[in-house]
Structure 1
Amino acid sequence: MNVVFYVPLLLVVVALLASAIKVLREYERGVVFQLGRFWKVKGPGLIILVPVIQQMVRVDLRTIVMDVPSQDLISRDNVSVQVNAVVYFRVVDPQKAIINVEHFYEATSQLAQTTLRSVLGQHDLDEMLAEREKLNDDIRSILDAQTDAWGIKVANVEIKHVDINETMVRAIARQAEAERQRRAKVIHAEGEQQAAEKLVEAARILGEDPRAIQLRYLQTLTEIAGEKSSTIVFPLPVGTVEALARRLGGEGDGRE
């Protein structure tokens, strides 16, 4: 009879000891409450709790990688886009993470979604595509400031994808093509301008000495002869043609 009485008592003692002994890993901390009131943060290692009187909540201190779902937003230039991101954060104050907010992971996730929409909605589509580093830092600083009261440190925020519909993709492609055509025309015009400036400079240099133009004529004839052409055009200076015309005109007047 005595043995039957002591067996349940022994089981109760073993159960109490099992519930009193806790082991926390290196990356874990235990927020201990005593009679419902916060007592202290303990760990890592072996933790002994007073059964019934003390309760403990485990908190993981490792960096958490949280994927922010795609958010539909309208940019400042009225373009509908879908944006998703990833947030890296960790708990630095277990007491605040347990006492000041209910389910800190869900709270941080909801805050990240609203912050992503509000920040990106203030920028144009071109800024979202070209200035991601700046936008990442802006979102991170806002999240870090608002989650500080929850004992959370936001280490990094990365915008992963900026998706737009096919109609806008075609419009952007047309815009890019028009921009390339504009640049090509500008480059061609600049080339024509530089070529004209060089031609004017060459004409000025050739005009300083009449022998220079004669040498240029001979060089042109050499180039034409080298092409094995059946027709050779020999250019004459305009002044020579005019002098010859005046001379012929004068001789004709004398015959009359």
Structure 2
Amino acid sequence: MNSDVPIPEITTLLIVLLAVLLIIIIIKGLVIVPQRHAMVIERLGRYHRTLNAGLNLIIPILDQPRPITIVRYRDNQKTINTEKKIDLREVVLDFPKQEVITKDNVGVRIDGVLYYQIMDAQAAIYGAENLVLAVQTLAQTSLRSEIGRMELDQIFESRQEINARLQNTMDDAGNKWGVKVNRVEIRDIDIPDDIREAMNKQMAAERARRAEVREAEGYKQAEILKAEGDKEAAVQRAEGEKRAIQQILEAAAGTEGLEARDAMRYLIAQEYMETLPKVAQEGERVFIPLEATSLMGSVGGIRELLGPTTGAAAASSSSSSGAGSGGSGG
């Protein structure tokens, strides 16, 4: 009796085994990459290609994904993860605070945050052994270098400049790592208590100084406005007196036949004689200039032209002025 398996049955068994093996290879070779992710594939230890988002097919035994090491911080606790799929989204790296010495030898603790994005998955895998650790270390050393060249007051005033310089430094180094640093920001600066108290006193003194300056400027502006008002009032008053004198001269010249020049001399002489007694009361002696004597001498002639009423007033003014001046001249 022959116990051998028939050839057709062996062939069928081999076909089934090959089909099952093919199905297993296909299932193992199907790789689904999520959106905004990538995967670096190595074939026999060498870079082969980069898988993009979607359904991809690889050879399970020959092709292997190259993992990437990711460092994250949660509650200031560092965790290291190994992932096969590379995240191409923007990542926030919140590294712990670090001690930094400023140019004026003040020790501060700076808390920074870094926003970066992997642009080239192949460069991110082969450019650095630990990409995130390299980015973090570069950010910390660059920040320490920038702060070390500045004084404490400049740090608070130049945050945007510091962030811009840090971003430029990170971009230069990140190009070879396939990383784009979108922005670097200083989130918090801790200073010693004694320095903080001194800064608070300085700010209080500065606010007091600004208040005094504003008060002085307000007083100055008020005085300027007052002086301008007084000046305007004096100008208006002078204009009014000028118009009144012109009207008197015109009236005198029209009614009495008096020339304007003679009327002006009369008014000046009369004003002089009214003021002379007041001047005499303030001193022991009063010296009358020659021009004033001739001016008063013309009052008599002008008085005759103005009429009896005006002449009497002028004579009375002249006599009183003469008496005052004679008494003072003693």
TM > 0.5:
yes
SS in 2 for 1:83: strand
Alignment match, 2:302: none
Alignment match, 1:95: 122
Output the CA distance in 2 between the equivalents of 1:85 and 1:240: 87
- Report the CA distance shift for 1:59/1:240 in structure 2 as closer, same or farther (over 3 A): farther
Alignment match, 1:117: 144
CA shift, 1:154, in A, is 0.6
Output the CA distance in 2 between the equivalents of 1:93 and 1:240: 104
Deviations 1:89-132 (A, max 9, x none): 11100001001211211111111111111112222222222222
**1:54 and 2:81 equivalent?**
no
Equivalent in 182, 197, 206 of residue 209 of structure 2: 182
Deviations 1:4-33 (A, max 9, x none): xx9x99998776555422211122211111
Equivalent residue letter for 2:195: M
Output the CA distance in 2 between the equivalents of 1:195 and 1:244: 39
SS in 2 for 1:143: helix
CA shift, 1:48, in A, is 2.2
- Report the CA distance shift for 1:203/1:242 in structure 2 as closer, same or farther (over 3 A): farther
Output the CA distance in 2 between the equivalents of 1:128 and 1:86: 16
Deviations 1:26-70 (A, max 9, x none): 222111111111111122222222233211132111111100211
**1:155 and 2:182 equivalent?**
yes
Equivalent in 36, 40, 49 of residue 45 of structure 2: 36
Alignment match, 1:85: 112
TM-score scaled to structure 2, two decimals?
A: 0.57
Output the CA distance in 1 between the equivalents of 2:124 and 2:32: 20
Is this contact kept in 2: 1:81–1:163, CA < 8 A? yes
Question: What 5-or-longer segments of structure 1 have no aligned partner?
Answer: 1-5, 213-238
Output the CA distance in 1 between the equivalents of 2:217 and 2:276: 35
Equivalent in 83, 86, 99 of residue 72 of structure 1: 99
CA shift, 1:72, in A, is 0.9
Is this contact kept in 2: 1:69–1:113, CA < 8 A? no
Equivalent residue letter for 2:50: V
CA RMSD of aligned residues (A): 3.8
- Report the CA distance shift for 1:247/1:68 in structure 2 as closer, same or farther (over 3 A): same
Alignment match, 1:129: 156
- Report the CA distance shift for 1:32/1:166 in structure 2 as closer, same or farther (over 3 A): same
How many equivalent residue pairs? 224
CA shift, 1:170, in A, is 0.8
Output the CA distance in 2 between the equivalents of 1:242 and 1:154: 90
CA shift, 1:198, in A, is 5.5
Output the CA distance in 1 between the equivalents of 2:105 and 2:131: 34
**1:23 and 2:25 equivalent?**
no
Output the CA distance in 2 between the equivalents of 1:14 and 1:207: 111
- Report the CA distance shift for 1:181/1:240 in structure 2 as closer, same or farther (over 3 A): farther
- Report the CA distance shift for 1:22/1:241 in structure 2 as closer, same or farther (over 3 A): farther
Output the CA distance in 2 between the equivalents of 1:241 and 1:102: 109
With CA pairs under 8 Å and 6+ residues apart, which has the higher RCO, 1 or 2?
1
Q: Pick the structure with more helix per residue.
A: 2
Alignment match, 1:166: 193
Structure with higher Rg: it is: 2
Is this contact kept in 2: 1:92–1:151, CA < 8 A? yes
TM-score scaled to structure 1, two decimals?
A: 0.71
SS in 2 for 1:69: coil
